[in-house]
Every structure is written in structure tokens, then in C-alpha cells.
A and B are shown apart, each in its own frame.
Chain A
Amino acid sequence: EAGVAQSPRYKIIEKRQSVAFWCNPISGHATLYWYQQILGQGPKLLIQFQNNGVVDDSQLPKDRFSAERLKGVDSTLKIQPAKLEDSAVYLCASSIPHYEQYFGPGTRLTVT
């Protein structure tokens, strides 16, 4: 089966610019997650969707980060405006509810 797809794989932007990441989950997976992984740390959950509804966004910096999952399939994560501390790998994962999460390759964001 096809895995979780993410694009772009790499992105370099200047601080205060905006950026968007895209995720296509495994077909049939109702649950979708976005994680932020800062260098030297484990991934941290930013937002969890169940179909197109938000289950948990308690750690999403809502003043600059936004995410949507229209039609319960693909999802986009946006940062506007970016800060230096947003430099990280952004991981998307999907699952059947309460089962194993499958991770995409991630997008490495560098903010200069």
C-alpha cells in the first residue's frame, strides 16, 4: 500500500515569511496527525484530526500556525509568519483510530 506522502521535502524561508506543508494520508485512515520535531528532540504533536474535525490542538501555536483537513483526506499545515525557532522537521502521520500510526518522510524547514 502507498504510504503517507508529504511535500515539499525541504523548504528554506526567511523569518516573517509564510510557508505551507501538504500531507496525503494512507487511504482509509480517518485519523491524521501533524508533529514538529526539533533537532535533538522527539516529535511533539501539534494537531490531531479525526476525519475533518480537530481532536487535539492544545500544543499548536495558534497565533501563527493553522491547519485544515478539508473533506477528511489531505491536510495542510501553515505557518504565518515564521520565526527562527520554527526550524524543524514537520511530520505527518495517519492511522485507523487507536491503531498504529504511519509516518511520512517529513518536511525539513529552515528559517533564516
Chain B
Amino acid sequence: AQSVSQHNHHVILSEAASLELGCNYSYGGTVNLFWYVQYPGQHLQLLLKYFSGDPLVKGIKGFEAEFIKSKFSFNLRKPSVQWSDTAEYFCVLSGNTGKLIFGQGTTLQVKP
């Protein structure tokens, strides 16, 4: 079965703290992996994506994620969060049809 599991439902950090959001997936084939973000009152938007090649991918606003095939993981990281990073984050996989399968989401709250 195709699925995405995010480790944390709600994370609270202080500004300048480091962030790591865990994501594991289950899929029997070649996957494309994404992190989408939804800032308060805004649309879902792409943060970063992995299709192939270098397993360490960099996205917008200083975010990065590492694809570890042996662990079926695609964790999101940022060395120093800002108040403006407060948002909901979704780990997403896509197979060969383009259909997106979303994790349940992690709400990140950054305290100033």
C-alpha cells in the first residue's frame, strides 16, 4: 500500500532553534518526494522536491531534505527557524501517474 507517515503532529520551537521533521513512506516503485507548506491563510505551495540524483535537496527559505532510500525516509531540516516559518508542513509522495499522496501534516509553531 502507498502511504506517507509524518512523525510529529505538532511541533513548537523558539526562534533560532533547529528543525527536523520526520517522514517515512511506503511505495513499491520509484518515487518522487516533496515537502509542501501551507502558511496561515495561504495556498499550499511547494517547498522542495526530490526526483533523482543528489539525495540532499535544497528548497526555498533555507529548507533542505535528505532522501535515504534504505530507510524509506525524507526528513525536512532547517538549521535556524524564524517566526515566519510557522505553518503546516506536508510530506508527499508521487508515483508514476502524478497522483500525490499526502502525510497527515505537521503543524509548526515558532515562538518569537
A interface residue numbers (CB < 8 A to B): 3-4, 31, 33, 35, 40-45, 48, 55-56, 91, 93, 95, 97-98, 100-101, 103-106
Contact = CB atoms under 8 A, between A and B. Distances in A.
A52 B56 CA distance: 37
Q: Which 5 A-B pairs have the closest CB atoms?
A: A42-B102, A103-B44, A103-B43, A43-B102, A42-B104
Interface stretch (B14-22, B60-68, B78-86, B93-101): B93-101
Contacts of A104: 43
Contact of A44 (B43, B45, B46, B102): B102
Interface in B1-49: 4, 43-46, 49
Nearest to A42: B102
Interface residues of B, number: 17
Interface of B: 4, 43-46, 49, 90, 92, 97-105
A41 B105 contact: yes
Main secondary structure on B side of the interface with A: strand
A55 B97 contact: yes
B105 A42 contact: yes
A45 B2 CA distance: 13
Contacts of A41: 104-105
A18 B96 CA distance: 34
Nearest to B101: A45
B104 to A, nearest CB: 5
